[in-house]
Amino acid sequence: MVIDASTIRNRLLKLMPADTLERLLPHLRPAVMLSGMTIDHIDGPITQMYFINRGLVSLVKVMRDGRTVEVGAVGIEGVTDPTALFGIDEAIVETMVQIPGDAFRIDRRILVEEMATDPALSRVMQQYTRFAIGQFAQTAACNRLHTLEERCCRWILTGQYCAGSDTFNLTHEFLGMMLGGPRSSVSLTAKVLQRAGCIDYVRGRLTVLDRDALESLACECYFETRNAIAVLYGADDSSQLIASI
């Protein structure tokens, strides 16, 4: 069954010319994304690519001792593993669903073949890949230079939009994994934000109460990402397109 174009929220698919999207639609398949599900394993083959329609996928680096940290994220602005379109066959990070939702998956081989005959599609994917690599650099700087509270606020703002709701499921363990901090420190940071009236956080369910306050506490990377998305999509409402960490 061909996907109904009216159900598409993914910004990358919506950016494509109408004739390009029309050719891709028969190859897109709906996919449910469950919390904690691994889409790609490190060093594993990349056979499918996921255009996120709702939810958030984290790109995670796993260290030898088992510690993890998020090095990037994909939400409704993008697609998983764009470097796979340019000759990189194996995943360089683990791709894990952080906020559940849904996506449209496509066979990587088909997308590569379509790019070879469609300059407009190739151009769109190249532009997105440049954006994605830039976000890797932004995240590396953020993890090194910004406080846990600043990064936590940025992540919560991202999660709010990707979930499509002010309320979404997120455990302290997962949040700590994404931020690369001990669970105790992440829990303390969440309590500070809760006492300040920014969020409500009970039993792994987080609700954003004051978005403006979170924006005032978030690091500059939140706004850098917003600007980068505005450039990519030419959007005036870039604050509503944030879906990268």
Taking the whole predicted model, whether its pTM rises above 0.85 is answered as yes
Compute the average pLDDT of residues 47-56: 95
Q: What is the DSSP letter of 76?
A: T
Tokens, residue 46: 């990349």
Tokens, residue 211: 């978005």
Give the strands of the sheet with 199-202, arranged side by side. Answer: 167-169, 205-208, 199-202
CA triple 152-131-9, angle to 5 deg: 75
Q: Is the dihedral of CA 151, 153, 156, 160 positive or negative?
A: negative
Answer whether 85's CB lies under 8 Å from 3's CB. no
Question: What confidence tier does 8 reach under pLDDT thresholds 50, 70, 90?
Answer: very high
Query: How do residues 177-225 score in pLDDT, each as one tens digit?
Result: 778 778 788 889 999 999 999 999 998 899 999 999 999 999 999 889 8
Q: Is the dihedral of CA 219, 68, 71, 11 positive or negative?
A: negative
- Position with higher pLDDT, 129 vs 245: 129
Whats the size of the chain, residue-wise? Answer: 245
CB neighbourhood size of 190 (10 A): 21
Question: What is the model's pLDDT at position 57?
Answer: 94
Kind plus residue range of the DSSP H or E element containing 199: strand 199-202
Question: What is the model's pLDDT at position 240?
Answer: 43
Backbone angles phi, psi at 108, to 5 degrees: -55, -40
Answer whether 48's CB lies under 8 Å from 37's CB. no
CB neighbourhood size of 192 (10 A): 14
Question: What is the model's pLDDT at position 1?
Answer: 65
What percent of the chain has a predicted confidence (pLDDT) above 90? 64
CA triple 163-4-99, angle to 5 deg: 15
Helix (H, G, I), strand (E, B) or coil at 47: coil
User: Residue 125's closest CA among 138, 136, 114, 137?
Assistant: 114
Residue 108 pairs in a beta bridge with none
Could you give all domains of the chain from N- to C-terminal order, each with its CATH number?
5-143 (2.60.120.10), 147-218 (1.10.10.10)
Distance CA 145, CA 3 (A): 43
Query: How do residues 84-131 score in pLDDT, each as one tens digit?
Result: 998 899 999 999 998 899 999 999 999 999 999 999 999 999 999 999
Task: State the DSSP string of 182-204.
Answer: -HHHHHHHHHHHHHTTSEEEETT
